[in-house]
Amino acid sequence: MSRAPRAWQRMLSGRRLDLLDPTPMDVEISDIAHGLAFVARWNGQTRGDFAYSVAEHSLLVEEIFAYCHPGAPAGQRLAALLHDAPEYVIGDMISPVKAAVGPGYAALDARLTAAIHLRFGLPAVLPAELKRRIKRADKVSAWLEAVCIAGFSAAEADRLFGRLDRDLAVRFEIRLRPPRETREAFVARHESLISGL
């Protein structure tokens, strides 16, 4: 008799996260922040002495979202901060790889997202309009990252991520920090937003 392959991961917090059936009780912000601080965006193909992490990207997306929607409540800003949170266990796959993997990736991402959202008091599935607004902030961040640290020209980034208002582009900064600093900044931002719920 063959055993089913292991589908869980032990986290540094001691939690055991089942990827096929994740529960909110198995989710800890310390694990998310740690994992995301060590996951490189752009498959690590960025300039600088440190990889540009998903945690750093998430902080920037939340900052852009808040700028574009100044009246957004803390819960919506928290959703923006956590928009890529499942990547703490599944990594950051670039869009071409996601397309090649197919619908299985999207289903796994959705299960993890639901557990993470429920753990922190958000709806399992975000309203479509909120998802659209977060996606817009995500694309602004992607444009900035592409041009500032990933070697893309502005014209190429315009084609891939949409033309960015250049006034908006100069308002935000790409930060490259050691993972420890980014992890601490992510946890601090999370705690600040949670306290505003």
Q: What letters, b where the CB count within 10 A reaches 16 and e where it falls short, cover 106-117?
A: eebbebbbbbbb
| Whether the predicted pLDDT of 78 surpasses 90 | yes
Give 102 or 162, the one with higher predicted confidence: 162
Residue 4: predicted pLDDT: 75
In whole angstroms, how large is the CA radius of gyration of the chain?
17
Residue 148: predicted pLDDT: 97
| Whether the predicted pLDDT of 139 surpasses 90 | yes
Residue 125: predicted pLDDT: 98
Residue 103: predicted pLDDT: 86
Average pLDDT of the residues in 122-135:
98
Distances (CA, A) of 164 to 31, 45, 88, 117, 156: 33, 22, 28, 29, 12
Mean pLDDT of the chain: 95
22-190, which class in CATH? mainly alpha
Question: 90: pLDDT confidence band, cut at 50, 70 and 90?
Answer: very high
Provide the residue ranges of all domains of the chain, joining segments of one domain with +: 22-190
Distances (CA, A) of 59 to 10, 11, 66: 25, 22, 11
Beta-carbon neighbour count of residue 147 at 10 Å?
Answer: 20
Residue 87: predicted pLDDT: 96
| Cα(139)–Cα(152) distance, integer angstroms | 14
Predicted TM-score (pTM) of this structure:
0.95
Share of the chain above pLDDT 70, in %: 99
Residue 1: predicted pLDDT: 63
